[in-house]
Amino acid sequence: GIQVEQSPPDLILQEGANSTLRCNFSDSVNNLQWFHQNPWGQLINLFYIPSGTKQNGRLSATTVATERYSLLYISSSQTTDSGVYFCAVPGGNYQLIWGAGTKLIIKP
The answer to the question of residue 1 lying near another protein (CB under 8 A) is no
The answer to the question of residue 7 lying near another protein (CB under 8 A) is no
Site for another protein in 22-51 (CB under 8 A): 29-31, 33, 35, 40-43, 45, 48, 50
Do strands 4-7 and 19-25 pair parallel, antiparallel, or not at all (unpaired)? antiparallel
Is-contact 70 62, C-beta < 8 A? yes
Q: Binding residues for another protein, per CB under 8 A?
A: 29-31, 33, 35, 40-43, 45, 48, 50, 86, 88, 90-96, 98, 100-101
